[in-house]
Amino acid sequence: MDNKKLIYMDNAATTSVKEEVVKEMIKYLSEKYANPSSIYSISQEVKEDIESARERIAKTLNADRKEIYFTSCGTESDNWAIKGTASFLKDKGKHIITSAIEHHAVLHSMKALEREGYEVTYIGVDENGFIKIDELKKAIRKDTILISIMAANNEIGTIEPIKEIAKIAHENNIYFHTDAVQAYGHIPLDVKDMDIDMLSVSAHKFHGPKGVGFLYIKKGVKINNLLDGGGQERGKRPGTENVASIMGMAKAAEIATENMSENNEKMTKVRDHLIDRILKEIPYTRLNGDKVKRLSNNVNISIEYIEGESMLLGLDFKGICASSGSACTSGSLDPSHVLLAIGLKHEVAHGSLRLSLSEENTIEEADYVVDNLVEIVNELRNMSPLWEDFIKQNK
C-alpha cells in the first residue's frame, strides 16, 4: 500500500463531508443565500426549505417537525438541554443525575451548574462502560429534575440502555436527556418508542458539516432559552439560521439513516478484524468497552507499556489518523476520564488507542494499520525501561 495515502480512522472526532452534502450546501451559499426571515419570495423559499429539512430530520427519529431545534453544535445542544432544564425547574429541585463517562459538553455543563448551587450525582459504570442502573435508581431524590445519560460513548463505543433509563426517569417524574452525538446515524433511535424528552445531535459525526447540530425537545417539555434574540426557531433558539449547514445536515442525516444497516455491516467486519488481529498479534492488550453492545465503528484497545502520544506520532508518520486515551483536547496529558471510570490504571489508560471507522474504511486498510502498529509497539516497548523491567521479572 502507498505510504503517502491517508488512512483516516478518527471518525469519532469528525467525518469527511459527503459530496452530495457539499453540493446541497453550495446551493445555499451561492444562489439561495437570502435570509429566511425576510419578506421577499426567495426568502420564503429558503424558509420552506429549512422547514423541509426539519421535517426530514424529524422523520429519522420518529419525531414531529416542531420538536427539532437547530443549534450550532452538539456542545450547544447539550448545554441547552441541561442548563435550560436546570433554570426552568429550579423551583422544583436542584438535583441532577448524569454519568462519569459523559462528554465534557455534559460534564462541564454540570460543573457550571454546581458552581451555581445545583447538586449533581455522577453515576459510575461497570468494567464494560455500562451505567450502574442500581446506583442510578438509588441516586434519585425528590428534588431530582433531570437525568442525562449518553446514548453511546465516544471513546469506548458502549451503547447504553437509554430506553430503560428513560423509563426509570419517567416513573419518578424526571426529565430524561440523552447525548446522542455518537449514536445518531449509527444505531436506530426512535424518540417515541424510547420515550426521550431531549436528544442532542451534531452533524459532523455523520458526514455532515461542522458547526451545526440540533436538539430534539419533546412536545410539552419546557426548558429555558440559552440565547436571547429574535424569533428564529420559534423564539427558542434565536440567531439567523445557518441555512447551508442545516440543509447539509438534513442531507447527511437522510443518507446515514438510509444506509445505516449496510454501513454497520461493513464497519463491523473491519472493526472485528482490527480487534482480532491487534489482540492476537500484540501481547498485553485489552479491548475497552463491551464486545457486543458496541458502536460498529469503534475500536478501543489498551496496549500496556506504551505511551499513547508516541504511538499516535508513529502512526501519523505512516499516514494513519487515530486517537489515544489521553484528554488531548484539553491540552493536558491526563488519562481519559472514561478509561479511568471503567477501572483502568493511569498508565494503562495512557497507552490506549481508539480507531474509529467510517463505511469507507476497508479490510486492506485495517491490515496496513495493524502491520504498522505491531512494528511501532515493538519499537516503543524496546525503548521503554518499564517494559525491560517487566520482561526481566517475568523471565
Looking at the Cβ atoms of 94 and 186, the one nearer to ligand PLP is: 186
Give the contacts of 22 (CB within 8 A, at least 6 positions apart).
Answer: 248
Give the shortest CB-264-to-ligand PLP separation in angstroms.
18
77 or 285: CB nearest ligand PLP:
77
Identify which of residues 42 and 100 has a Cβ nearer to ligand PLP in the complex: 100
Q: Where are the alpha helices (DSSP H) in the chain?
A: 19-29, 41-61, 74-88, 104-115, 133-139, 162-171, 243-258, 260-281, 308-317, 337-341, 346-350, 363-383, 385-393
Write the CA distances from 104 to 75, 101, 192, 311, 347, integer angstroms: 8, 9, 27, 24, 22
What is the DSSP annotation of 168-189? HHHHTT-EEEEE-TTTTTTS--
328 is catalytic: yes
Please report, for residues 68, 129, 296, the alpha-carbon distance to residue 293 in angstroms, rounded to integers and kept in the order given: 28, 10, 9
Least distance to ligand PLP, CB of residue 54, Å: 18
When CB distances to ligand PLP are compared, the closest residue is 74
Instruction: Give the nearer residue to ligand PLP in terms of CB position, either 152 or 270.
Output: 152
Task: Output the DSSP codes for 72-88.
Answer: S-HHHHHHHHHHHHHHH
**What does the alpha-carbon distance between residue 230 and residue 304 come to, in Å, rounded to a whole number?**
54
Q: Least distance to ligand PLP from the beta carbon of 73, Å?
A: 3
Residue 101 contacts residue 300 (beta carbons within 8 Å)? no
The Cα–Cα gap between 191 and 199 comes to 8
Query: Min. distance of Cβ 282 from ligand PLP in angstroms?
Result: 27
Nearer to ligand PLP, 28 or 80 (CB): 80
In the complex, least distance from residue 321 CB atom to ligand PLP, rounded to whole angstroms: 15
Shortest distance in whole angstroms from residue 203 CB to ligand PLP: 8
CB 207, min distance to ligand PLP, A: 14
Name which of 354, 334, 350, 347 is nearest 390 in CA terms.
Answer: 347
Which positions touch ligand PLP (CB under 6 A)?
Answer: 73-75, 78, 103, 105, 150, 154, 179, 181-182, 202, 213
Choose, from 328, 347, 362, 390, the residue flagged as catalytic. 328
Q: How far is the CB of 42 from ligand PLP (least distance, A)?
A: 30
Spatial CA neighbour of 52 closest among 243, 296, 237? 243
Which is closer to ligand PLP, CB of 67 or CB of 179? Answer: 179
Contacts of 315 (CB under 8 A, 6+ apart): 321, 322, 369, 372, 373, 376
Q: Rounded distance, CA 368 to CA 5, Å?
A: 11
Q: Which of 12, 9, 14, 8 is nearest to 275 (CA)?
A: 9
Residue 139 near residue 117, CB atoms below 8 Å: no
Q: Which of residues 140 and 215 has its CB atom nearest to ligand PLP in the complex?
A: 215
Q: Are the C-beta atoms of residues 216 and 191 closer than 8 Å to each other?
A: yes
| Antiparallel, parallel or unpaired: β 298-303 and 285-287 | antiparallel
Q: Which among 84, 69, 106, 125 is positioned nearest to 180, based on CA atoms?
A: 106
Q: How far is CA 14 from the centre of its chain?
A: 10
Q: Which is nearer to ligand PLP, 271 or 381 (CB)?
A: 271
- Positions marked catalytic: 328
